Amino acid sequence: MKYNQSNLQARMNELLIEQSQHYLQGAVADYIPALAKVLPSSMGVCISTLDGNVVGAGNYQQRFSIQSISKIFGLVMAMNRVGDSLWKRVNMEPSGQPFNSIIQLEWEKGIPRNPVINAGALLVSDVLASHYSSSKLAFLNFVRSLAGDENIHVNMDVYQSELAHGNRNAALAYLMKCFDNIDADIPEVLSHYFTQCSVEMTCQQLTQSLLFLANKGISPSDNRVILSRKDAHRVNAILSTSGMYDQSGEFAFSVGLPAKSGVGGGIVAIVPNYGVICAWSPPLNNFGNSVVGMQLISKLAEELGLSIF
Ligand code: GLN
Tally the residues of the chain.
309
Q: Looking at ligand 1, which atom is closest to the CA of residue 169?
A: 4
CATH superfamily of 5-65+201-304: DD-peptidase/beta-lactamase superfamily (3.40.710.10)
Q: Is 193 one of the catalytic residues?
A: yes
Q: Is the dihedral of CA 253, 256, 258, 262 positive or negative?
A: negative
Q: Is 71 one of the catalytic residues?
A: yes
Distance, CA 22 to ligand 1 centroid (Å)? 23
Distance separating alpha carbons of residues 129 and 123, to the nearest angstrom: 10
- Identify the pLDDT of residue 6: 80
Distance separating alpha carbons of residues 1 and 45, to the nearest angstrom: 19
- Identify the pLDDT of residue 207: 98
- Identify the pLDDT of residue 76: 98
Q: Does domain 68-199 have CATH number 3.40.50.2300?
A: no
How does 59-92 read in b/e, with b if 16+ C-beta sit within 10 Å? bbebbbbbbbbbbbbbbbbbbebbeeebeebbbb
Distance, CA 11 to ligand 1 centroid (Å)? 31
Residue owning the nearest CA to atom 6 of ligand 1:
68
Distance, CA 10 to ligand 1 centroid (Å)? 33
What pTM value is reported for the model?
0.97
- Identify the pLDDT of residue 2: 67
* Probe residue for ligand 1, chosen from 38, 66, 263 as the CB with the greatest number of ligand atoms within 8 Å: 263
Sheet strands side by side (includes 259-261): 54-58, 44-49, 275-280, 266-271, 259-261
Q: Is 189 one of the catalytic residues?
A: no
- Every domain of the chain with CATH number 3.40.710.10 lies at 5-65+201-304, 68-199
Active-site residue, selected from the candidate residues 28, 263, 268, 276: 263
Q: Which residues of the chain have a pLDDT value below 50? A: none
Q: Is the dihedral of CA 98, 103, 106, 109 positive or negative?
A: negative
Task: State whether residue 268 is helix, strand or coil.
Answer: strand
User: Over the Cα atoms of the chain, what is R_g?
Assistant: 18
Distance, CA 36 to ligand 1 centroid (Å)? 13
- Identify the pLDDT of residue 5: 78
Of 237, 243, 242, the residue nearest 293 (C-alpha): 243
DSSP state of 225: B
